[in-house]
Amino acid sequence: MRFDVLTLHPGLVAGPLEHSILRRAQDAGYITVGVHDLREHGVGRYRQVDDAPYGGGAGMVLKVDVIDQGIEAVRREDSRVILMSPAGARFDQGHARRLACGSHLILVCGHYEGVDARVESLVDEQLSIGDYVLTGGELPALVVIEAVARLVPGVLGNSDSFQDESFAEGLLEYPQYTRPRSYRGLDVPDVLLSGNHAAIDAWRDEQALARTRERRPDLLEASTEDP
């Protein structure tokens, strides 16, 4: 699977791609990631990428022609173009699963005061990672890349790994333990030491449901609302 990121700050995106799972996935050829500087498509001698908003107001707005040229420079027939935007749909595991079924994602990162509204007509969808304000779309783009890349076959090695993780089945993940067996009066639950895999599976299911009910009841409410 290929990801292409359009940004004014390539360094913000390129750094995290050099570590951990994303680095190994690239080295193994499961994913490829291109990071592209929107200034390459800037206008005029000084490569202008933004301008003052029509009608007045604070800040600068990214130009639609610059972003359009950036998209077209990497677009393929199988591309899906996503604008990282606070006005977008809330990104979740369901979005990650859907996007992982594709083969090419173009992620457009806004910056400054925002992007020309006409950019919305150039993309297939808009995504947000939460209801808070960030300086730009670079960190949200990285969140999308990692969440989607983890679902690409081969990236995690063990296909069961992501199936047991939080949100995979609409629940938080069950608690995990490792050595030492006892630490400062805190003990590993006996069932995990029993060797009874049926009992362990049942305990994990119970714990996942209990954790979700306590910490994220909204997930349970959402599941009951699904048709």
> What mean pLDDT comes out for the span 158-175?
72
pLDDT at 163: 60
Residues 6 or more apart whose Cβ sits within 8 Å of residue 225: none
Residue 222 reports pLDDT greater than 80: no
Residue 161 reports pLDDT greater than 70: no
> What mean pLDDT comes out for the span 205-227?
86
Could you give all domains of the chain from N- to C-terminal order, each with its CATH number?
Answer: 2-149 (3.40.1280.10), 166-225 (1.10.1270.20)
> What mean pLDDT comes out for the span 148-177?
82
Residue 159 reports pLDDT greater than 90: no
* Token pair listed for 205: 């299911």
152: exposed, middle or buried (C-beta count within 10 Å: 0-12, 13-18, 19+)? middle
Alpha-carbon distance of 224 to 47, in angstroms, equals 52
Q: What is the pLDDT of residues 8-18, one digit of tens each?
A: 999 999 999 99
Contact 8/109 with Cβ under 8 angstroms? yes
Segment (H or E) for 209: helix 197-215
Mean pLDDT of the chain: 93
Q: What is the pLDDT of residues 41-71, one digit of tens each?
A: 999 999 999 999 999 988 899 999 999 999 9
191 or 167, greater pLDDT:
191
Residue 164 phi/psi, 5-degree rounding, is -95, -5
Q: What is the pLDDT of residues 71-118, one digit of tens each?
A: 999 999 999 999 999 999 999 999 999 999 999 999 999 987 789 999
Place of tokens 């090695």: 157
pLDDT at 152: 97
Range in 84-93, 122-131, 214-223 the model is least confident about: 214-223
Q: Residue 222 to residues 13, 96, 213, 216, 227: CA-CA distances in angstroms?
A: 33, 17, 12, 10, 10
Q: What pTM, to 2 d.p., does this model score?
A: 0.89
